[in-house]
Amino acid sequence: MKIVIVGCGAGGGTAAQFARKTDRKAKIVIYDKEGYGQYSKCALPLVIAGKDWKEIIEFPPSWFEKNGIEYRHEEVYKIDLEGRVIEGGKEEDFDKVVVATGAQPSCPFEAKGALFLRCLDDAIEIRQRIKKGGQAIIVGAGLIGLEVAEALAKCKMKVKVLEYMPYILPNMLDEDVANYLLKKLPIDVELGCKVEKIEDGKVIANEEYKADLAIVAVGNKAITPFGKAIEVDEKCMFARDAFAVGDCTIIRDFFGRKIQVGLGSIAVRQGMVAGINSAGGHEIILPSLLPKTTKIFGIEVASVGLLSNEIDGISSKYIGKDLPHYMNGNDILVKVIADKKGIIVGCQAIGNGASKIIDRIALAIYNRMHVSILAKMENSYAPAVAPVFDAVNIACQMLNKKIKKGRN
């Protein structure tokens, strides 16, 4: 049995590990065009901010070799599924293949001299180009754009973010929640701003912005030897003996929608599944609820499931404190979204513990719970930890009332 894994990101690297765990004797080969081994792509903004890049390496090339996985620092140009051979530095045959070729930044406009953040070399280059006191322009106020903005601000650059949409984090938050967050961010964001092009030293949009450093973070598209994203099933399979994982894949999410993968949390779970299955095991992946989180300028933000504009539903938003009134609590926002019947389908949260709040609501969505149940359920309570009715509970009580009223 020979398993060839093409790509060493979160998906590919994890697939190699789990193939090894599943079959101690199989020959396993992993191709890594970058040469760093498996590292955390989500940590790249931290490298820009000054973290030693060596720290974010999770499994260096030597780790793979130590675990009996042949590591090749080579790019793969072609995968012949019929002939069961890949073409990297030279041809290599396989019994099973796992494609984990990732994605690359997309850009709908000409962007001369602009930088993109996709891989470790990009982060290192951006780091080198930082100019204290200089002006950085970030195009795109998505997760990556905002995290890069924070990193550059920490490095004492003046930072401006240009976003085409009317609000930040449009793939993660509703407009009202995004605007609540934006008010708390010490950052200059230009909304509804269409960039025409970038030339050396300037970004041309509604006006011309001088840019000592211009970074574009407006989206990614899959890169595969097949010229397009790979649609995989719940076994992470797309053809006989062929698996694919990570940002080069299209999956069906919990709501039945086809989506392109763009989260490390999905990639590693795909890696587990494809690794096990490619080595003869039997595993399936759960459909993703798309939990997302980040911490920007110290503020935790998270969301899961559907956004309001993705369903004809109903929502309630609670903004309050995360501790009882007599404690020194912090601001917390929780917005819960349900379908017209009251089945919970989404949640957004801002404040300490936002990530854990949406992990909790993920279970409610998974179990197709009605908001009336969450409105009644007890949360754990202690003055120093949480109020007797916490933000989730109150948001659900509000939503439940709305739904009851609509019904009567």
Q: Could you list the residues that contact its own copies (CB under 8 A)?
A: 10, 40, 42-43, 46, 51, 55-56, 58, 263-266, 268-269, 285-286, 288-289, 291-295, 300, 302, 304, 324-326, 353, 355-360, 362-364, 366-367, 369, 373, 376-386, 388-390, 392
3-state percent breakdown (helix, strand, coil) of the chain, nearest 5:
30, 30, 40
DSSP for 44-101 reads HHHHHHT--GGGGEEE-HHHHHHTTEEEE-----EEETTTTEEESSSEEE-SEEEE--
Residue identified by tokens 């290599």 is 92
Query: Residue 369: which of 401, 338, 404 has the closest Cα?
Result: 338
Nearer to its own copies, 226 or 297 (CB): 297
Q: How far is the CB of 70 from its own copies (least distance, A)?
A: 25
DSSP class of 194: -
Smallest separation (angstroms) from its own copies to the CB of 356? 4
Closer residue to its own copies (CB): 88 or 246: 246
Q: How far is the CB of 125 from its own copies (least distance, A)?
A: 20
Which residue number, 156 or 404, has a Cβ lying nearer to its own copies?
Answer: 404
DSSP per-residue string spanning 93-129: E-SEEEE---EEE--SSEETT-EE-SSHHHHHHHHHH
Min dist. Cβ of residue 142 to its own copies (A): 13
The minimum distance between CB 91 and its own copies, in angstroms, equals: 34
**Which of the 8 DSSP states describes residue 288?**
P
- At residue 189, what are phi and psi to the nearest 5 degrees? -120, 130
Task: Please say which residue, 61 or 291, places its beta carbon nearer to its own copies.
Answer: 291
Nearer to its own copies, 198 or 251 (CB): 251
Q: Give the nearer residue to its own copies in terms of CB position, either 193 or 364.
A: 364
Handedness of CA 261, 54, 187, 207 (dihedral sign): negative
Smallest gap from Cβ 217 to its own copies, in A, equals: 15
Residue whose CB is less far from its own copies, 249 or 355: 355
The whole-angstrom separation of Cα 189 and Cα 178 is 12
Contact between 312 and 340 under an 8 Å Cβ cutoff? The reply is yes
Q: 255 vs 366, which CB is nearer to its own copies?
A: 366
SS3 397: helix
Cβ of residue 396: shortest distance to its own copies, in angstroms? 12
Beta carbon nearer to its own copies, 21 or 73: 21
Beta bridge partners, 296, equal: 299
Angle between helices 391-407 and 354-366 (to 10 degrees): 40
- Chain centroid to CA 153: 22
Q: Let me know how many helices (H) and strands (E) the chain has, helices first.
A: 10, 30
Two tokens, residue 217: 């973070």
Kindly tell me which of 133 and 384 has the beta carbon lying closer to its own copies: 384
DSSP lists the bridge partners of residue 65 as none
Is 137 or 344 the residue whose CB approaches its own copies more closely? 344
CB atoms within 10 A of CB 353: 18
**Nearest approach, Cβ of 283 to its own copies (angstroms)?**
9
User: At its nearest, how many Å lie between its own copies and the CB of residue 264?
Assistant: 6
* Dihedral pair phi/psi, residue 349, rounded to 5°: -145, 145
In the complex, the smallest distance separating the C-beta of residue 84 from its own copies, rounded to whole angstroms, is 30
**For residue 78, how far is the Cα from the chain centroid?**
27
Residue 48 CB, nearest distance to its own copies (Å)? 13
